[in-house]
Amino acid sequence: MFFWFAGCAFAAVWLVFRSPALDHRVVMVGAVLPLAELLVGRPTVLHTLLGASAAMTVVMALTRRRRLLRRRWLGIPVGLYAHLVLDATWTDQHLFWWPFFGAGFQDRGLPELRPWPVVVIQELIGLAAIWWMVRSFSLDEPERRDAFLRTGQLGRDLVA
């Protein structure tokens, strides 16, 4: 489940926004953040549109007039939104639109808990997405990889 969310969010956010300045590491963290709810055994606010929107609101409010800080931390809510899409949470109206269709989470299973063959296929797709990004942005070169690991940004010279 980890690579499915991290890799696909990384690739999808690049394909949609095409921003080399976005911190893609933070996007990947945001995309895997709802997996922490595996510890409680049920989905909670991180699997809801309200949770992702609240995270966006907090980031926007706390980073007023600090453009570079905002650009970095916007990756968390963007990753949370990507998780909602990749997990197909939007197909469960009670979970996705929580609390508008009821305030309880207790009787819901986690969307990530799928049959193991599905999880294996998803993980392979996520690894393929990471491999594609590594190859597309030459992250196999030590200098580029180190820059990416340090800043989360992709080489501007390869973006065109």
pLDDT in tens, 9-22: 999 999 999 888 88
Check residues 107 and 54 and name the one with the higher pLDDT: 54
How many CB atoms are located within 10 Å of the residue 111 CB? 21
Whether residue 158 is predicted with pLDDT greater than 80 in this model: the reply is no
42: left (phi over 0), alpha (psi -120 to 50) or beta: beta
Burial class (CB in 10 A: 0-12, 13-18, 19+), 9: buried
Cα 92 from Cα 101, distance rounded (Å): 10
Q: Say which amino acid occupies 130.
A: I
Q: Is the pTM of this model over 0.85?
A: yes
